[in-house]
C-alpha cells in the first residue's frame, strides 16, 4: 500500500486493470475492481517488492519468501478459498522456498534468486487447491523453465525490473498451474534432465544437490526461520544501519578520512564495493541501485541516525554534497570470518553484519561491529507483533485511515478463521482518487 504512487507499481496496476476478470477475479491494491488472478498477482507482487521492505531468508542463496503471498492470495480470492486454505498455501510455499535456498546456490552461477521463488509459488498453489502431485510437478517444471534468469537485473544501474521480477514469477506460476490442471505436461525433468537446470545452469552434468523437506505429518516450520526488515533496504544492510546509529554518537563525521566495512563475501560482492559497480557511488543513481549500495546506506545512516523508506532515497538527499563526500570515503572488504559466520549451519549463530573501521584525519581509529540487525530474532530488539503492527501503521499513515488500519490488522491476525468473502479484508481501503490521478499521467501501453 505504501508503494501505490511509485511508478513501477502504477504501471503494473495499469497493466493489470486492463484485464478485468470474466468471473470471480482478485483484488488489486488501489484499484476499484477485480481482475484476472494472474494479473492481480502481477500488480500486487510488484507493489510488495517495490520498497525492498518485506521478509528475507539467507543461506546458500538469497530469498524474499513473502513474494509468494500475492499470487497465493489472488488465486485464493478467485477460487473462493478460506483464510485457512490460504494459510496452508503460504506455509507450504515458505517450506519449499526456504529448503531450495538452503540446498541450491544460484548466485555463484549468476542466476537470479527468483528461480527458487517460482517453484515455491507453484507448490503453494498446489497446496491451496489440493491438486494431485503430478499436476503440481508439471506446474513446477514449467515455472522453473520460464522464470530462470541472470543476475544482470541486480548489476550496474539497477532498473525497476527488480520489483517486477518476483511478480513475473508469481504470474508465471499461476499460468503454469492453470495449464497443468488442463492436463498439459512440461519439460521433464527440469532439474535433473540432461539439458536441465542443474546440468546447464548450475554445477553441470552429474552434479548433486540435497534439498531437505519435512516428512509427511512433520510440522512445517520454515516460515519461522525467516526474518523481517526494520529498514527499507537490502537485508545485508539492516545490521549496518543499526551499527551506524551507534557509531555516529562517537564519530566526528567532518573529520573522517576513510571507512572500511569488513563483512561477508555476499555483502561485499552484492551491495558493497566488491561488486565493482560505479553506480553504487553515483548520487544520480536509481532508488533500486541505492538500496543495493551499502556505502550509500552507511553514509546516510551515519549522518541521519535513522532510515526512512522515502526520505532516505530522495534525490535531494542522495545528492547532498557532504553526503557524497563521506559516501566516497566508504568501502567494503571481504573478511573470511564474517563469510564463515554468514554461512554458519546453526541459525542462532548466523551473522549478516560486519565490522566498521573508521579512520579520522588525525589517525584516530574508531571501530565497532554488529552481527545481526536489531530486529532479527537474535538482535537487540527482535520484532514482535507490536512492531509488525507499528511498521504497518507507519507505512500506511498517509494512505489508510486509522479505522481501516484496524480492520486490516484484525483480518491478518485472524487469517485462519476468515471465510472466503472475508479475504477482502486483507486489502486495506485506500483513497483511490490520488491513485487514479497518478495513473492518468502514465504513458499508454498496448493494453
Task: List the CATH number of the domain containing 340.
Answer: 3.30.1330.120
Q: The C-alpha cell of 267 is what? A: 555483502
End-to-end Cα, the chain, rounded Å: 24
Task: List the CATH number of the domain containing 156.
Answer: 1.10.4100.10
| Pairing label, strands 354-360, 62-63 | unpaired
- Per-residue pLDDT tens over the stretch 173-190: 999 999 999 999 999 999
- Per-residue pLDDT tens over the stretch 191-218: 999 999 999 999 999 999 999 999 999 9
255 and 199, same structural domain?
no
318 and 221, same structural domain?
no
Burial class for 206, CB neighbours closer than 10 Å (0-12, 13-18, 19+): exposed
279 and 209, same structural domain?
no
Per-position DSSP letters for 323-382, written without gaps between them: HHHHHTTEEEEE-HHHHHHHT-SSTTT----EEEEEEETTS-EEEEEESS-TTSTTSSS-
**What is the gyration radius of the CA atoms in the chain, in angstroms?**
22
Structure confidence at residue 16 (pLDDT): 98
pLDDT bracket for residue 379 (50, 70, 90): very high
Domain of residue 271 covers 235-370
- Phi, psi for residue 240 in degrees, rounded to 5: -70, -40
Q: Is the pLDDT of residue 118 over 90?
A: yes
282 and 163, same structural domain?
no
Give domain status of residue 263, yes or no.
yes
203 and 325, same structural domain?
no
Give domain status of residue 394, yes or no.
no
Number of domains in the chain: 2
CA distance 336 to 318: 31
Mean pLDDT of the chain: 96
- Per-residue pLDDT tens over the stretch 226-269: 999 999 999 999 999 999 999 999 999 999 999 999 999 999 99
Share of the chain above pLDDT 70, in %: 100
The whole model's pTM is what? 0.94
241 and 140, same structural domain?
no
CB 302 within 8 A of CB 241: no
162 and 292, same structural domain?
no
207 and 239, same structural domain?
no
215 and 251, same structural domain?
no
239 and 169, same structural domain?
no
**Which of 179, 206, 225 lies at the terminal end of a domain, its last residue?**
225
| Pairing label, strands 330-334, 354-360 | unpaired
Give domain status of residue 251, yes or no.
yes
Mean pLDDT of 333-338: 98
Structure confidence at residue 348 (pLDDT): 83
82 and 32, same structural domain?
yes
Amino acid at each position: 500500500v505504501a508503494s501505490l504512487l511509485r511508478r513501477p507499481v502504477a504501471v503494473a496496476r495499469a497493466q493489470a486493470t486492463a484485464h478485468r476478470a470474466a468471473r470471480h477475479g482478485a483484488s488489486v491494491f488501489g484499484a476499484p475492481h477485480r481482475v484476472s488472478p494472474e494479473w492481480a498477482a502481477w500488480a500486487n507482487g510488484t507493489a510488495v517488492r517495490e520498497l525492498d521492505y518485506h521478509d528475507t531468508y539467507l543461506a546458500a542463496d538469497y530469498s524474499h519468501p513473502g513474494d509468494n503471498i500475492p499470487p497465493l492470495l489472488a488465486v485464493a480470492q478467485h477460487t473462493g478459498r478460506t483464510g485457512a486454505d490460504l494459510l496452508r498455501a503460504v506455509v507450504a510455499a515458505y517450506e519449499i522456498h526456504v529448503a531450495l535456498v538452503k540446498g541450491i546456490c544460484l548466485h555463484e552461477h549468476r542466476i537470479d534468486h527468483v528461480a527458487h521463488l517460482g517453484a515455491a509459488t507453484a507448490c503453494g498453489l498446489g497446496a491451496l487447491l489440493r491438486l494431485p502431485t503430478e499436476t503440481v510437478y508439471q506446474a513446477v517444471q514449467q515455472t522453473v523453465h520460464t522464470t530462470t534468469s541472470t543476475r544482470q537485473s541486480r548489476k550496474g544501474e539497477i532498473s525497476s525490473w527488480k520489483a517486477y521480477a518476483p511478480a513475473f514469477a508469481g504470474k508465471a506460476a499461476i499460468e503454469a498451474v492453470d495449464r497443468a490442471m488442463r492436463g498439459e505436461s512440461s519439460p521433464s525433468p527440469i532439474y535433473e534432465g540432461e539439458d536441465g537446470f542443474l546440468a546447464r545452469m548450475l554445477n553441470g552434468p552429474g552434479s548433486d544437490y540435497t534439498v531437505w523437506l519435512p516428512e509427511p505429518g512433520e510440522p512445517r516450520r520454515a516460515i519461522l526461520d525467516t526474518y523481517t526488515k526494520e529498514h527499507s533496504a537490502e537485508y545485508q544492510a539492516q545490521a549496518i544501519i543499526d551499527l551506524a546509529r551507534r557509531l555516529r554518537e562517537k564519530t566526528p563525521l567532518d573529520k573522517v578520512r576513510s571507512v572500511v566495512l569488513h563483512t561477508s563475501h555476499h555483502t561485499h560482492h552484492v551491495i558493497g564495493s566488491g561488486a565493482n559497480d560505479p553506480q553504487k557511488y553515483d548520487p544520480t543513481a536509481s532508488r533500486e541501485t541505492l538500496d543495493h549500495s551499502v556505502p550509500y546506506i552507511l553514509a546516510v545512516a551515519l549522518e541521519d541516525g535513522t532510515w526512512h523508506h522515502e526520505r532516505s532515497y530522495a534525490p535531494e538527499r542522495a545528492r547532498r554534497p557532504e553526503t557524497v563526500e563521506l559516501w566516497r570515503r566508504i568501502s567494503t572488504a571481504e573478511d573470511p570470518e564474517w563469510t564463515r559466520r554468514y554461512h554458519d549451519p546453526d541459525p542462532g549463530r548466523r551473522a549478516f553484519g560486519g565490522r566498521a573501521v573508521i579512520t579520522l584525519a588525525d589517525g584516530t581509529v574508531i571501530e565497532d561491529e554488529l552481527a545481526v540487525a536489531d530486529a532479527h530474532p537474535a538482535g537487540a530488539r527482535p520484532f514482535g507483533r507490536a512492531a509488525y503492527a507499528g511498521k504497518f501503521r507507519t507505512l500506511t499513515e498517509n494512505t489508510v485511515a486509522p479505522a481501516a488500519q484496524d480492520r486490516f490488522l484484525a483480518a491478518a491476525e485472524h487469517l485462519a478463521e476468515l471465510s472466503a468473502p472475508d479475504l477482502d479484508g486483507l486489502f486495506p481501503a485506500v483513497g483511490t482518487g490520488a491513485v487514479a490521478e497518478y495513473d492518468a499521467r502514465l504513458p499508454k501501453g498496448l493494453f
